[in-house]
Chains A and B, each alone.
Chain A
């Protein structure tokens, strides 16, 4: 009742012109409230979504480079038959680390990282929801990544594959701690992914700028929304499965032990029920990058907004119905095979819709071939080819031949590098000016693209043929079978070309960060809200929270589009809006910088790593975790006391008045 009354007051005021505060004074006040504190102390306590987002992006990119180096080592080993460069023990650790790092420490965190930075800007708010949780999500991810790489350097890197099939990964065939590090890494990244998904969903549903109804949300934001929901259903499964694996290894349960009624196939079901949606968790945000880049560089709004949104959502749903196509060779009943073949072919349809809508947008637009768009065009080539081989593998008879061969290696690199990494590089070129305030060099950008594009195809196309010629995956070496040596050598040359492309990108990055052309607010003249503020954005994102009158706001809004005023500048006030129509609802005060997320991450890390060595770590480790969480949530006396009388007593008094009135 009261809320509604206050609401109507707001609406009345909207029409009245109120003088705007002097912008500079406003900027100073907001900066003082929202800015990170200086020095190491400030660094460790920062909860700003852009600070955390940047760390997240850089860390994820660092893991991308590390996993890339591992890939290069593998390609050296495989460049000729019976090579002695790496032995089986090291190679098996390396290929496991490569897959694990790329999936859990690069791809998923990178997609989340971009969302953490961009979503609050794109929906027009001052902060991501639950900023402390966000900082916690970053720290826990960092510590998990460090843990597994330290283990690897100490020759305790996991070596049972990123899929850790039991019984190979079980206590009988993987003694030692290697697989335990893998299983706990899953726990780390899954905690991180889940908290970030929570923030993203809440931010998108509740912190949008007034007027941004659901059908005006930028497509990129839709994409990460779908991703976040998929995280909710996929990650708990792997969390449960990896816990069961650890229990089997640590306290002698028998979940996967066939001798005692357990079942190794249960692991495969659980793993792929997570593992298949996982690839969509990586791919769907990348489609968001594409839907952001194409309109900007073909100078027109996206074609088929609604169709694209529905495609995203249906991909999200169908993505959970495909997992068994990873298990056709386990001898499933025929009916099951038919069902999953059909479902797998069905998931092609929303992808086809997306591809056609994008091509239609380009067709009707006027393309300007800057690096981001070129990466997107490269995406089309690679991803569509990967989609075709995907259709082949969906067919269960064909799958029986190509499953677990280099054909599959080729296929998933086509869809993952093509579908995610190319759009990601496009996105990095696209948003770099927003992140840093400077432009990346176009010429180097194009060199990066061509090296990566040619290198990629040279590296992975021959693998299709290798698969048909019978080369299985995950072999540390191979014998000199007809044709294998040449094709493998080609692949190795391609891999190094690709790596060289990434190196050029790094050079471009470090050069342009200091010396690139100054970008200005909106160098591409794009239509979404993140381009409305300065580059790089101030700590508080927007001087005034904007309002939104259509899609591609900056292209369609009238010059006198209203802005929001009335948020306090001395505390971190954020406007909360309604889920569907984005109307102002209430104001929440967000937390200041704090060390608690870091402390909680450290105590949690202690528990997780301790539990690799003894189950008692779960019991004793939970005490510091509980203490740090209580410390985190304990109200800050001063601020609370300020708010308490106003929020409670006054509201109660007012309620009594109205009740008295009606009586």
Chain B
């Protein structure tokens, strides 16, 4: 059942060979050069091998039984062979050297620490099994906290400060850049930049336990003004419940174990163990990219998230029909 539901999701791009930013672009060029060059070498070696193996077939008629004679090596022939082998080795060394140098040159660009003057700094912390995202700002009231979804302005350099609160995770959005491990006890800076708008999917790339498979995130690259609008919206506290059902829903939320782990800014819910839900309804997915953010998925997730993502840290929340509807109304109002 769930399989069917899930398969209805349309997925954002996730492809290392379809770069959407300068860093992924450089790696992509190097990768493609290598693919072409190395394929050519592979084919040549195979052709030489095939000739070596099959060229003498006609001499072996009929097949000697048992394979009688041993061919004694002849001096001048061995000499010729050894010249050819030496040439082959030298050629390989030369090609490797070229690849090494180009790898250094690209590496120099890819690993250079980003220019921070104009950069947007975002802290991302890996958690089992979701992403805790925090937009840094010198003014505390301008800090935005969200989860599993990172909005970035197109064309502006981003510096990610990556860390982890539990085990090692790895941040990877292939269309934008390679990956960087998130190691507990360390903070690592990682550059990112998108050159065109789009939704780019990423997935945790370091095995991190049970639900490593369902730890995805979206990077949404949008024009600067759209990004700013989004940012302003995220800065607001959660909208107050307006309908009776939403008011009841908030009550349910605050009286259930939800508050132990989740935060909704502007309410008493201040848990930090799970994703910040202040603007959860504005996000495209829930459960770190596991499900589309729809009413039925939310309902399913709240009642028994263990069916959807076995082993995740959220316990089943027992709510009856009426309260569930109110709760869903409330959560869906958190735009």
Interface residues of A (CB under 8 A from B): 81-84, 87-89, 92, 160-161, 165, 167-168, 172-173, 258-259, 263-265, 296-297, 299-301, 303-304, 307, 329-331, 334, 337-338, 341-342, 345-346, 348-349, 352-353, 355-357, 359-360, 362-368, 377, 380-381, 384-385, 388-389, 391-392, 394-405, 467-470, 472-482, 522-525, 527, 552, 555
Contacts and interface: CB of A to CB of B under 8 A. Distances in A.
Interface string B15-49: 11100000010110011001100110110011011
A522 B168 CA distance: 56
B178 A400 contact: yes
A384 B39 CA distance: 10
Contacts of A470: 14-16, 172, 174, 201-203
Given A258-B185, A366-B71, A476-B213, A89 B201 contact: no
B15 A469 contact: yes
A160 to B, nearest CB: 8
Contact of B96 (A264, A380, A391, A400): A391
B67 interface: yes
B85 interface: yes
Given A258-B184, A469-B16, A525-B67, 13 more contacts: A265-B183, A331-B186, A345-B96, A349-B93, A360-B85, A377-B49, A381-B46, A392-B31, A401-B174, A479-B6, A479-B290, A480-B9, A522-B66
Nearest to B34: A392
Q: How large is the interface on B (under 10, 10 to 19, 20 to 34, 35 or more residues)?
A: 35 or more
A341 B103 contact: yes
A224 B283 CA distance: 58
A402 B48 CA distance: 30
A329 B201 contact: no
B268 interface: no
B11 A481 contact: yes
Interface stretch (B104-112, B242-250, B296-304, B320-328): B104-112
Interface of B: 2-3, 6-7, 9, 11, 14-17, 24, 26-27, 30-31, 34-35, 38-39, 41-42, 45-46, 48-49, 51-57, 59-60, 63-64, 66-73, 77-78, 81-82, 84-85, 88-89, 92-93, 96, 99-100, 103-104, 106-108, 110-111, 128, 166-168, 170, 172, 174, 177-181, 183-186, 188, 190, 201-214, 216, 289-290, 310-311
Contacts of B57: 367
A95 B202 CA distance: 23
Q: Top 8 closest A-B pairs, CB basis?
A: A400-B178, A258-B185, A470-B14, A475-B213, A395-B103, A363-B52, A388-B38, A474-B207
A137 B90 CA distance: 43
Contacts of B30: 395, 397-398
A391 B37 CA distance: 11
10 contacts: A89-B310, A167-B166, A296-B67, A341-B100, A388-B41, A397-B106, A404-B206, A470-B15, A472-B204, A473-B205
A168 B213 contact: no
B59 to A, nearest CB: 6
A88 B211 CA distance: 7
B207 A359 contact: no
B3 A83 contact: yes
Contact of B89 (A84, A353, A368, A388): A353
B109 to A, nearest CB: 8
A625 B62 CA distance: 62
B168 A400 contact: no
Contacts of A368: 60, 63-64, 67
Contact of A345 (B68, B70, B100, B168): B100
B20 to A, nearest CB: 13
B11 A480 contact: yes
Contacts of A303: 73, 78, 81-82, 85
Contact of A329 (B88, B128, B179): B179
A160 B167 CA distance: 11
Contacts of B84: 360
Given A84-B3, A472-B205, A341 B107 contact: yes
B71 A299 contact: yes
A167 B310 CA distance: 21
Nearest to A295: B70
Contacts of A476: 212-213
B89 A330 contact: no
Contacts of B55: 363
A401 B174 CA distance: 7
Contacts of B99: 345, 391, 395
Given A380-B49, A479-B6, A356 B73 contact: no
Contact of A89 (B15, B210, B213, B290): B210
Contacts of A398: 27, 30-31, 34, 103
Nearest to B164: A167
A480 B14 contact: no
A391 B96 CA distance: 8
Contacts of A353: 85, 89
B53 A334 contact: no
B205 A338 contact: no
Given A88-B310, A168-B168, A362 B53 contact: yes
A511 B104 CA distance: 56
Contact of B205 (A348, A366, A403, A527): A403
B6 A401 contact: no
A165 B206 contact: yes
Nearest to B111: A334
Contacts of A331: 180-181, 183, 186, 188, 190
Nearest to B200: A470
A362 B55 CA distance: 10
Contact of A396 (B39, B72, B107, B180): B107
B178 A397 contact: yes
A439 to B, nearest CB: 11
B53 A360 contact: no
B42 A385 contact: yes
A257 to B, nearest CB: 9
Nearest to A300: B71
Nearest to A161: B207
A354 B287 CA distance: 51
Nearest to B175: A470
A84 B5 CA distance: 13
B45 A82 contact: no
A356 B89 contact: yes
Given A264-B185, A368-B67, A349 B96 contact: yes
A389 B180 CA distance: 21
A396 B104 CA distance: 8
A468 B18 CA distance: 9
Please indicate which of the listed interface residues B67, B73, B96, B128 has the most CB atoms of chain A within 10 Å of its own CB: B67
A401 B178 contact: yes
Given A348-B92, A470-B174, A364 B71 contact: yes
A172 B167 CA distance: 9
B103 A299 contact: no
Contact of B68 (A173, A469, A522, A525): A525
Among B2, B24, B48, max chain A CB count under 10 A is at B48
A480 B6 contact: yes
A477 to B, nearest CB: 5
A608 B275 CA distance: 43
Highest count of chain B CB atoms <10 Å: which of A367, A399, A470: A470
A483 B215 CA distance: 19
